[in-house]
Copies of this chain bind each other. A is one copy, B any other.
């Protein structure tokens, strides 16, 4: 699949690019600066020599992709989405955005009027199929491509096809189990959990992620959440 990663020059975006490239997907790293996007693509190739990856300006990356992963800082989400509104029609958008603020009390989640960053994205682009996922993955662990990950990826969406596609994409990463987190309104719990994880990472000098125990996924996973 052709996957654009907007904000792909940040650590989280780079790590996702490496993992998806490893799984054989065609990756387009998007940035406001084409030059920085090309540098990021080279970083991916340095780590994953087999990677099919190129760097583009955000709009070019999004235009050429079937799946667009949004991995920009929360503060840049609105401007990025508004500038790409026409290009994103008909594509699947996967939000990795976590609304965080870093104060003297440590990292904390910002309260979003729409409920979550993902629901704010939907309010900006009401006709685009949106899922949210990959919030709780450690960038460090993602970029350590020799090691399997050890985590669940909770996927939230109101669009059944987008949810299924995102869960399938998550499970192409070694060591990842995809879980149906329900409607996009559940995204805030997954987004906000990132603040706790980042604070514990500092305390325990860790790169933590999360697993849900006592939860077995049936052979054919149930997917709910029709577009409402």
Interface residues of A in 91-123 (CB under 8 A from B): 105-106, 108-109, 111
Indicate whether A215 sits within 8 Å of B204 (C-beta atoms), given known contacts A105-B183, A192-B189: yes
Contact B204 A196 (CB under 8 A): no
Among A207, A209, A215, the most chain B Cβ lie within 10 Å of the Cβ of A215
Oligomeric state, in number of copies? Answer: 2
Cα(A111)–Cα(B113), bound, Å: 12
| A8 close to chain B: CB less than 8 A | no
Closest-CB distance, A197 to chain B (whole angstroms):
7
Contact B209 A222 (CB under 8 A): no
In-complex Cβ contact of A182 among B190, B203, B211 (8 A): B203
Residues on the B chain within 8 Å of A196, using CB: 154, 181-182, 186, 189-190
Residues on the B chain within 8 Å of A145, using CB: none
Contact B203 A180 (CB under 8 A): yes
Interface residues of A in 190-221 (CB under 8 A from B): 190, 192-193, 195-197, 199-201, 203-204, 206-218
Closest 7 CB pairs of A and B: A208-B215, A189-B196, A206-B215, A150-B213, A208-B212, A211-B211, A182-B199
